[in-house]
């Protein structure tokens, strides 16, 4: 155990730019961001620690380089006890009076998609909506993912910390297909993957062979890596969630495999027309299977087994929300201004794209998925209640889940299960840091890395305050106003100016839509014949 | 068996409307006809039975008189039969006919919203009968009721909600005397009363019971929104067993299953603060004893014979404000007056989303669940679930909300055919209208002709239909309810929607797109998507997106 902790600590040092106080080189990214600073002080902030504890403060927070080094409380009791204390000073002072500081969020499953979307589009949205670390599928190739992760680690780009998610065998060389299917070879393969700097192994297609799953999961642990599993319905007759958990998998992604752990048989009642390769079928039945599950067993014995085997739940509810309410997903208010046209095109119903299966999506399908969200939510709630670890991921940049916005919506969808707002924040910070094996991430606390959010308003009062557009609320005089969202995200000591990031996103989106000349099948019925006079309603200075 | 299907039932049932002549509707509608034939339609009867057919349906004036089946078995038995003919033939091949829907709780609101705005939207989405609140005064509502009954206007049939004692000269003391209730009810009935709100008598159980019984005895029905302010006196079980006909909305149920007689109001609670009121109306469901609610409470309500009128759609904004405020039809079809009423504002009723947090949305998500479970349990045990929207309030645009309400009933686990039954047969029975709510000879010709099977996908009832696949696997958009027939008058629904669009465009003239809700989402250079050709019901893509300006 001690050895592993030491290994983690050394990795942290390797991966961060310049950590030693007093030797920091402050970098600027135009007016988008600057940092790290020798001494950055956040003054007067209320603090949500991240481990589930309640807000407290206000505090002055000192960040030296990329590390939180001091937190001085200014609540009346502390102030009275201490007597007059000098406020902390530094190279940069951020007045956070009335604002809340919480740890940066860690999205354990997300996508960068491909080149039609600028990579900065994703990075900026993620940062502006509080994600400072992500496990991203290597959608643009393994080399690209490793290069980007390296650049982020050195703060050469404005992006969350990245831990690419790759298939088993990626980064290892010299193994045949037969060898990759052999449990006995797993220790060697995983060792090479670890040596290539990888942290997270995707187990997705391996459910057909439980011995292999077990061997890889063990090898991953032995090498300081973690495993992440999307239990495909095509293989759940072999590997259910309970079996995956007890085979030692670190985290189970999405909703798959749970209901299948509580059936009255080994296979769900696939309709006779079912074709796994037809995504309309696939997603319809992935919702329907929850109607077949034995509720009592699922929320009892299955939950206990999952906890007993120590697996982490990674729900990523937001990417499935379109399945219970397509109209909602396709008419979210930010699409016009902030959803990239490439993503929009991928979202449009189309049998040829992954995740674009809403071409015959009926009220029954939405009912199946509403029912699935309920029971799945009850499972998450029960798992959390009995001591299981719920982590945070979005799987966004797919199926109408626009990056960034989806991070906040995911919090709401966890809250919807009945988890407390503070537990939800814990899932997104402390729990996800632990799952990822990052002992210096996920808390606001001296000695922890400076991955922080400065939020206009209390996210434990209203999670929607974390949207870039904030939310409507009342001031002390009862007058309505709109909060400003996460004003600054601090990642590895670098302070982003989130309003500016969102402007850059808006520009990229405008460019992406400039050439679109045809109303698509989703919006066509709602385009008025007469358009209101164009105005610049919210022109900024 | 088969012969009975051809029997011509009485024509006298619709006599009171049979002379009504529809004129002056331009290309929006026409009828009634001496003989209107709908050919080749699949039929969803309305009582919960499955689709069957195809049928040729004959409508004489405002009554369905014949339904001739053309399924292979019936056709083989019968041999070659001549198709029915008439003054007008509607080819409904591939389409589904179901009864017109009856919305038992809705609003017409006030000027500057045109009466036609909500009337056309409702008709185009399949609503042929409504119980409107008397938002523009009872006299105005009664006038509209008559206009519609005589087919002088294009609007659903109406049974306005009367307040207790309306159009009588009884004084307050008399109105609050239980012994007087029978006389009062008779006098109201003599003036055409059908639906009476018990809203003014919830504070007094004895009076409540007396009024409920008296109204029913006089041929009417009672409806009640059980306000949290008086649930300590009359909750849902009490209201049901005191004889109320139908309980509107979600109120009073959770309060029937508390561990005390009032909910745990926070110490700052003020009923007249709508933010407080609606927040606590959601969170009360977290206090309810689930097993008691879904057990003895459901049983008591079934036993006392009350009808549930959920109107879920008008509360959906409470569980998901962004959904409600960014529904895709707002720009083209939501009247600016309604948008203005919807915008968060402490001074308007139903505009309380000015401090509506993720916790509030959680309370309401939970409330929808447990309320949905209660509806499903009540339905399962034989209770009658009816249909209403309470729309034209709280982001619930008329018409569209009629279809969304069906989905929200489906969400409880009720089968789609049960949902359609709630909106047709059950609502007609609740309203005591024995010749509405079924597609069947002898019944009044209130029908909708739908492009696609609503039992396959309720969303096919939206005016914009839904995407689906044709037989070759090619995606297309269905055309919604092509025609709504009310009292024999056949609407051209696409044209009604064009009129709505014009009213909405006019209402938005000169109104900047930015308001407290939309402001963050309007691009700095707003994209204009001109669409002069229209896009409704088009297969494939139409309309142009222009240059940024």
For residue A351, the chain B residues in CB contact (below 8 A) are 473, 475
For residue A268, give every residue at least 6 positions away whose Cβ sits within 8 Å of its Cβ, in sequence order, or none.
Answer: A233, A236, A259, A260, A285, A288, A289, A292
For residue B501, the chain A residues in CB contact (below 8 A) are 528-529
% of chain A beyond a pLDDT of 70: 94
Average pLDDT of chain A is 92
Asked if B505 lies within 8 A of A528 by C-beta distance, the reply is yes
Q: Burial level of B209, CB count in 10 A (0-12/13-18/19+)?
A: buried
pLDDT band at A5 (very low <50, low <70, confident <90, very high): very low
Question: Among the listed ranges A14-23, A322-331, B211-220, B534-543, which one has the minimum average pLDDT value?
Answer: B534-543
Asked if B529 lies within 8 A of A531 by C-beta distance, the reply is yes
Cβ contact A191:A215 at 8 Å: no
Q: Does B543 have pLDDT greater than 80? A: no
pLDDT of residue A2: 42
Report which DSSP code applies to A355.
T
For residue B505, the chain A residues in CB contact (below 8 A) are 528-530
Among B319, B545, B546, B549, which would you mutate to test the A interface (most chain A Cβ atoms within 10 Å of its Cβ)? B545
**pLDDT, tens digit (0-9, with 9 covering 90-100), for A391-418:** 999 999 999 999 999 999 999 999 999 9
pLDDT of residue A531: 64
Q: Does A421 have pLDDT greater than 60? A: yes
Report which DSSP code applies to B82.
P
pLDDT of residue B540: 34
Asked if A527 lies within 8 A of B411 by C-beta distance, the reply is no
pLDDT band at A22 (very low <50, low <70, confident <90, very high): low
Q: How many CB atoms lie within 10 A of CB B260?
A: 9
For residue B520, give every residue at least 6 positions away whose Cβ sits within 8 Å of its Cβ, in sequence order, or none.
Answer: A333, A468, A469, A470, A482, A538
CA distance A486 to A473: 15
Query: What does the block give as tokens for B471?
Result: 């037989």
Mean pLDDT calculated for residue range B436-451: 98
Mean pLDDT calculated for residue range A181-198: 98
% of chain A beyond a pLDDT of 90: 87
**DSSP-based three-state secondary structure for B191:** coil
pLDDT of residue A78: 85
Cβ contact A433:A160 at 8 Å: no
For residue B325, the chain A residues in CB contact (below 8 A) are 333
pLDDT of residue A537: 38
Report which DSSP code applies to A534.
P
Helix locations, A83-156, DSSP H: 119-128, 142-153
Question: Among the listed ranges A71-80, A328-337, A384-393, B42-51, which one has the minimum average pLDDT value?
Answer: A71-80
Helix (H), strand (E) counts: chain B? 20, 20
pLDDT band at B348 (very low <50, low <70, confident <90, very high): confident
**pLDDT, tens digit (0-9, with 9 covering 90-100), for B59-117:** 999 999 999 999 888 888 887 777 899 999 999 999 999 999 999 999 999 999 999 99
Question: CB-based contact (8 Å) between A325 and chain B?
Answer: yes
CA distance B509 to A189: 67
For residue A108, give every residue at least 6 positions away whose Cβ sits within 8 Å of its Cβ, in sequence order, or none.
Answer: A134, A135, A228, A251, A314, A391, A392, A393, A432, A435, A436
Q: How many CB atoms lie within 10 A of CB A397?
A: 28
Rg from Cα positions in chain B: 24
For residue A471, the chain B residues in CB contact (below 8 A) are 356-357
| Phi and psi at residue A89, to the nearest 5° | -125, 170
Report which DSSP code applies to B261.
S
Cβ contact B36:B490 at 8 Å: yes
Query: What does the block give as tokens for B401?
Result: 């909300």
Among A288, A509, A526, which would you mutate to test the B interface (most chain B Cβ atoms within 10 Å of its Cβ)? A526
CA distance A350 to A206: 28
Among B529, B533, B537, which would you mutate to test the A interface (most chain A Cβ atoms within 10 Å of its Cβ)? B529
Cβ contact A425:A432 at 8 Å: no
Helix (H) or strand (E) holding A295: helix A295-297
CA distance A19 to A155: 12
pLDDT of residue A3: 42
pLDDT band at B349 (very low <50, low <70, confident <90, very high): confident
Top pLDDT among A540 and A482 is at A482
**DSSP-based three-state secondary structure for A339:** coil
For residue B332, the chain A residues in CB contact (below 8 A) are 526-528
| Phi and psi at residue A248, to the nearest 5° | 100, 10
Report which DSSP code applies to B258.
S
Q: Does B16 have pLDDT greater than 80? A: no
**pLDDT, tens digit (0-9, with 9 covering 90-100), for B360-372:** 999 999 999 999 9
pLDDT band at A516 (very low <50, low <70, confident <90, very high): confident
CA B148 to chain A, closest CA, distance in angstroms equals 30
Helix (H) or strand (E) holding B307: strand B307-309
Rg from Cα positions in chain A: 23
Q: How far apart are the first and last CA of chain A?
A: 55
Report the DSSP pairing between strands A37-47 and A92-95: parallel
CA distance B297 to B161: 27
CA A77 to chain B, closest CA, distance in angstroms equals 26
Cβ contact A158:A29 at 8 Å: yes
Asked if A364 lies within 8 A of B549 by C-beta distance, the reply is no
Q: Burial level of A322, CB count in 10 A (0-12/13-18/19+)?
A: buried
Mean pLDDT calculated for residue range B396-414: 98
| Phi and psi at residue B64, to the nearest 5° | -75, 125
pLDDT of residue B39: 96
* Nearest CA among A204, A521, A255, A469 for reference residue A379: A255
Report which DSSP code applies to A26.
P
pLDDT band at B526 (very low <50, low <70, confident <90, very high): low
**pLDDT, tens digit (0-9, with 9 covering 90-100), for A341-361:** 999 999 999 877 888 899 999
Helix (H) or strand (E) holding B139: helix B138-149
% of chain B beyond a pLDDT of 70: 91
pLDDT band at B534 (very low <50, low <70, confident <90, very high): very low
Cβ contact A448:A413 at 8 Å: no
CA distance A68 to B313: 48
pLDDT of residue B346: 79
Asked if B526 lies within 8 A of A536 by C-beta distance, the reply is yes
Average pLDDT of chain B is 91
Asked if B359 lies within 8 A of A461 by C-beta distance, the reply is yes
Query: What does the block give as tokens for A361?
Result: 């999506």
For residue A486, the chain B residues in CB contact (below 8 A) are none
**DSSP-based three-state secondary structure for A333:** coil
For residue B328, the chain A residues in CB contact (below 8 A) are 327, 330-331, 523, 525-526
**pLDDT, tens digit (0-9, with 9 covering 90-100), for A96-149:** 999 999 999 999 999 999 989 999 999 999 999 999 999 999 999 999 999 999
Asked if A360 lies within 8 A of B468 by C-beta distance, the reply is yes
Choose among A361, A514, A525: nearest Cβ to B548. A514
Report which DSSP code applies to A319.
G
**DSSP-based three-state secondary structure for A183:** helix
Question: CB-based contact (8 Å) between A531 and chain B?
Answer: yes
pLDDT of residue A77: 85
CA dihedral A505, A510, A511, A517 (to 10 degrees): 150
Q: Burial level of B140, CB count in 10 A (0-12/13-18/19+)?
A: middle
For residue B333, the chain A residues in CB contact (below 8 A) are 526
Report the DSSP pairing between strands B29-30 and B489-491: antiparallel
Helix (H), strand (E) counts: chain A? 20, 21
**pLDDT, tens digit (0-9, with 9 covering 90-100), for B120-166:** 999 999 999 999 999 999 999 999 999 999 999 999 999 999 999 99
User: Longest C-alpha distance within chain A, in Å?
Assistant: 76
Chain A residue with minimal CA distance to B540?
A: A521
- Give the angle subtended at the CA of B50 by the CAs of B49 and B51, to the nearest 5°: 125
Cβ contact A213:A206 at 8 Å: yes
Among A339, A360, A529, which would you mutate to test the B interface (most chain B Cβ atoms within 10 Å of its Cβ)? A529
How far apart, in Å, are the Cα atoms of B139 and each of A363, B200, B536? 40, 19, 37
How far apart, in Å, are the Cα atoms of B238 and each of A58, A147, A212, B286? 51, 69, 62, 21
Asked if B523 lies within 8 A of A411 by C-beta distance, the reply is no
Q: Does B529 have pLDDT greater than 80? A: no
Choose among A331, A470, A527: nearest Cβ to B543. A527
Report the DSSP pairing between strands B95-99 and B447-451: antiparallel
CA dihedral B487, B488, B493, B497 (to 10 degrees): -40
Q: Does B546 have pLDDT greater than 60? A: no
Mean pLDDT calculated for residue range A214-231: 98
- Report the sign of the C-alpha dihedral through residues B85, B86, B87, B88, in that order: negative
For residue A360, the chain B residues in CB contact (below 8 A) are 467-469, 475
How far apart, in Å, are the Cα atoms of A307 and each of A202, A259, A382, B336? 21, 16, 10, 53
Cβ contact A310:A245 at 8 Å: yes
């Amino acid at each position: 155990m001690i050895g592993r902790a030491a290994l983690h600590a050394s990795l942290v040092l390797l991966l961060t730019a310049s950590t030693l106080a007093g030797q920091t080189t402050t970098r600027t990214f135009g007016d988008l961001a600057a940092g790290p600073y020798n001494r950055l002080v956040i003054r007067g902030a209320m603090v949500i620690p991240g481990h589930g504890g309640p807000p407290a403060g206000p505090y002055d927070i000192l960040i030296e380089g990329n590390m939180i080094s001091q937190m001085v409380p200014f609540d009346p009791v502390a102030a009275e006890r201490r007597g007059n204390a000098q406020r902390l000073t530094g190279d940069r002072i951020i007045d956070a009076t009335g604002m809340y500081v919480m740890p940066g969020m860690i999205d354990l499953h997300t996508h960068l998609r491909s080149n039609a979307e600028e990579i900065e589009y994703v990075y900026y949205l993620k940062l502006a909506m509080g994600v400072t670390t992500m496990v991203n599928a290597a959608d643009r190739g393994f080399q690209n993912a490793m290069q980007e992760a390296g650049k982020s680690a050195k703060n050469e780009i404005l992006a969350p910390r990245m831990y690419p998610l790759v298939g088993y065998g990626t980064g290892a060389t010299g193994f045949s297909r037969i060898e990759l299917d052999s449990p006995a070879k797993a220790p060697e393969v995983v060792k090479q993957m670890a040596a290539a700097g990888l942290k997270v192994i995707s187990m997705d297609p391996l459910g057909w062979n439980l011995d292999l799953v077990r061997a890889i999961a063990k090898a991953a642990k032995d090498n300081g890596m973690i495993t992440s599993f999307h239990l495909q319905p095509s293989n759940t007759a072999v590997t259910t969630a309970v079996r995956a958990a007890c085979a030692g998998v670190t985290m189970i992604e999405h909703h798959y495999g749970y209901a299948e752990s509580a059936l009255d048989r080994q296979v769900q009642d696939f309709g006779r027309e079912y074709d796994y390769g037809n995504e309309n079928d696939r997603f319809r039945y992935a919702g329907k299977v929850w109607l077949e599950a034995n509720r009592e067993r699922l929320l009892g014995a299955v939950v206990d087994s999952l906890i007993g085997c120590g697996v982490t739940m990674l729900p990523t509810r937001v990417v499935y929300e379109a399945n219970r309410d397509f109209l909602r997903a396709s008419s979210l208010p930010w699409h016009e201004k902030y959803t990239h046209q490439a993503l929009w095109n991928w979202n449009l119903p189309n049998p040829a794209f992954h995740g674009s299966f809403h071409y015959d999506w009926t009220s029954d399908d939405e009912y199946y998925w509403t029912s699935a969200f309920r029971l799945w939510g009850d499972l998450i709630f029960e798992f959390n209640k009995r001591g299981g670890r719920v982590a945070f991921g979005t799987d966004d940049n797919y199926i109408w889940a626009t990056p960034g916005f989806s991070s906040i919506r995911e919090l709401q969808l966890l809250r919807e299960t009945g988890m407390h707002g503070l537990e939800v924040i814990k899932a997104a910070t402390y729990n996800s840091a632990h799952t990822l094996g990052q002992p210096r991430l996920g808390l606001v606390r001296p000695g922890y890395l400076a991955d922080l959010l400065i939020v206009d308003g209390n996210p434990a009062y209203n999670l929607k305050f974390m949207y870039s557009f904030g939310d409507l609320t009342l001031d002390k005089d009862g007058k309505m106003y709109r909060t400003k969202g996460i004003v600054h995200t601090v990642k590895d000591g670098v302070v982003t100016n989130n309003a500016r990031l969102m402007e850059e996103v808006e520009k990229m989106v405008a460019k992406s839509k400039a050439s679109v000349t045809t109303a698509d099948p989703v919006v066509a019925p709602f385009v008025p014949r007469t358009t209101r006079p164009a105005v610049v309603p919210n022109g900024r200075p | 068996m088969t012969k009975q299907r051809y029997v011509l039932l009485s024509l006298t049932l619709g006599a009171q409307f049979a002379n009504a002549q529809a004129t002056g509707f331009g290309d929006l509608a026409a009828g009634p006809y001496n003989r209107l034939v709908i050919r080749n339609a699949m039929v969803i009867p309305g009582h919960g039975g499955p689709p069957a057919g195809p049928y040729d349906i004959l409508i004489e004036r405002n009554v369905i008189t014949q339904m001739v089946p053309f399924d292979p078995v019936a056709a083989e038995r019968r041999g070659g039969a001549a198709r029915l003919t008439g003054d007008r033939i509607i080819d409904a091949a591939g389409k589904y006919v179901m009864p017109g829907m009856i919305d038992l709780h809705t609003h017409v609101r006030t000027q500057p919203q045109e009466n036609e705005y909500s009337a056309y939207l409702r008709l185009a989405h399949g609503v042929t009968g409504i119980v409107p609140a008397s938002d523009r005064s009872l006299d105005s509502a009664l006038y509209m009721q008559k206009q519609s009954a005589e087919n002088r206007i294009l609007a659903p049939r109406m049974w306005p909600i009367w307040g207790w004692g309306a159009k009588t000269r009884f004084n307050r003391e008399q109105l609050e005397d239980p012994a007087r209730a029978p006389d009062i009810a008779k006098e109201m009935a003599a003036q055409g009363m059908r639906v009476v709100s018990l809203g003014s008598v919830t504070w007094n159980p004895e009076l409540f019971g007396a009024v409920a019984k008296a109204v029913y005895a006089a041929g009417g029905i009672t409806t009640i929104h059980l306000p949290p302010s008086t649930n300590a006196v009359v909750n849902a079980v009490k209201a049901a067993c005191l004889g109320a006909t139908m309980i509107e909305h979600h109120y009073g149920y959770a309060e029937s299953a508390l561990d005390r007689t009032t909910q745990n109001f926070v110490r700052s609670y003020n009923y007249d603060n709508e933010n407080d009121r609606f927040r606590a109306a959601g969170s009360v469901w977290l206090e309810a004893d689930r097993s008691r609610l879904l057990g003895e409470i459901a049983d008591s309500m079934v036993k006392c014979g009350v009808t549930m009128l959920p109107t879920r759609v008008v509360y959906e904004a409470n569980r998901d404000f962004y959904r409600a405020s960014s529904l895709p039809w707002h720009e083209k079809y939501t009247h600016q007056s309604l948008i203005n009423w919807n915008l968060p504002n402490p001074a308007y009723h139903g505009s309380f989303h000015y401090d509506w947090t993720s916790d509030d949305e959680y309370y309401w998500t939970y409330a929808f669940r447990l309320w949905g479970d209660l509806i499903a349990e009540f339905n399962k045990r034989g209770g009658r679930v009816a249909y209403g929207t309470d729309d034209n309030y709280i982001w619930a645009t008329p018409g569209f909300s009629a279809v969304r309400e069906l989905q929200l009933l489906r969400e409880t686990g009720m089968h789609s055919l049960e949902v359609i039954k709630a909106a047709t047969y059950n609502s007609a029975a609740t309203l005591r209208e024995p010749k509405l709510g079924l597609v069947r000879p002898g019944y009044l010709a209130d029908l909708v002709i739908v492009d696609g099977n609503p039992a396959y996908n309720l969303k096919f009832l939206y005016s914009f239909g839904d995407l689906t696949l044709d037989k070759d696997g090619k995606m297309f958009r269905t055309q919604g309810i092509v025609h709504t027939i009310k009292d024999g008058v056949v609407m051209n629904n696409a044209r009604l929607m064009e009129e709505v669009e014009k009213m909405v465009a006019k209402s938005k003239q000169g109104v900047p797109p930015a308001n407290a809700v939309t402001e963050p989402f309007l691009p700095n250079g707003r994209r204009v998507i001109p669409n002069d050709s229209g896009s409704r019901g088009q297969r494939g893509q139409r309309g142009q997106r222009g240059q940024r300006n």
